[in-house]
Amino acid sequence: MAQLFFKHGAMNSGKSIEIIKVAHNYEEQDKPVLIFTSGIDTRDEVGYVSSRIGLRRKAIPVFDDTDLFEYVQNYPQKLYCILVDEVQFLTKEHVLQLAKIVDRLNIPVMGFGLKNDFQNELFEGSRYMLIYADKIEEMKTICWFCHKKATMNLRVDENKKPVYTGEQIQIGGNDDYYPVCRKCHSNPPL
């Protein structure tokens, strides 16, 4: 029975590596998968899942008008799994389409992404994944500054000073964000 999975974690928790690994495991057994990623993530190149350790994989970019259910339903071959990177940037409608893929097409869907933004507010995609997912799993990493588990993302400016206001979405990597624990988020040792 197919299920909708939400695997979330702070920055640097290995979400993109996990997608590439899961895709490889299916494909090694001749079981085709589709990988989707947000079309607004331009850190590497639009339409790629990229990890910080250098692994990358072509993916289908998702934009506001992308109908994930239609894309999967009309795909010319049998699919065994749908993998979605940067699921936090999806809309409510996209998450409902992912649930529809699971429920109507009986294909498992694994969505990977951040749960909360730099102000510790839920992203739209994450909020609806938390509501609709059959299984929710936290991918763990350690705080940039101490030994505790990182559960938040600290945005920093070009001088490495904490930023607590601004637009929710600012695409960036290690130069812009640190995975941190709650204590270091509110009082980072910078």
Q: Say if residue 14 carries a ligand binding annotation.
A: yes
Q: Say if residue 172 carries a ligand binding annotation.
A: yes
**Torsion angle in degrees (nearest 10) through CA of 73, 38, 16, 22:** 0
Q: Say if residue 81 carries a ligand binding annotation.
A: no
Q: Say if residue 136 carries a ligand binding annotation.
A: no
Catalytic residue from among 28, 86, 93, 138: 86
Report the alpha-carbon distance of residue 85 to residue 7 in Å, rounded.
10
Q: Say if residue 85 carries a ligand binding annotation.
A: yes
Longest dimension (CA), the chain: 53
Burial class (CB in 10 A: 0-12, 13-18, 19+), 2: middle
Q: Say if residue 143 carries a ligand binding annotation.
A: yes
Q: Say if residue 86 carries a ligand binding annotation.
A: yes
* C-alpha distances out from residue 37 to 57, 77, 84, 154, 165, Å: 10, 20, 6, 23, 26
Q: Say if residue 88 carries a ligand binding annotation.
A: yes
Which residue's entry shows tokens 């559960």? 151
Annotated active-site residue 86? The verdict is yes
H-run or E-run covering 92: helix 92-105
Q: Say if residue 13 carries a ligand binding annotation.
A: yes
Q: For residue 10, give the nearest of 147, 177, 133 by alpha carbon.
A: 177
Q: Say if residue 181 carries a ligand binding annotation.
A: yes
H-run or E-run covering 132: helix 124-132
Which residues define the annotated binding site?
9-16, 85-88, 143, 146, 169-172, 177, 181, 184
Catalytically active residues are 86
Which residues define the annotated binding site for ATP?
9-16, 85-88
Which residues define the annotated binding site for substrate?
169-172, 177
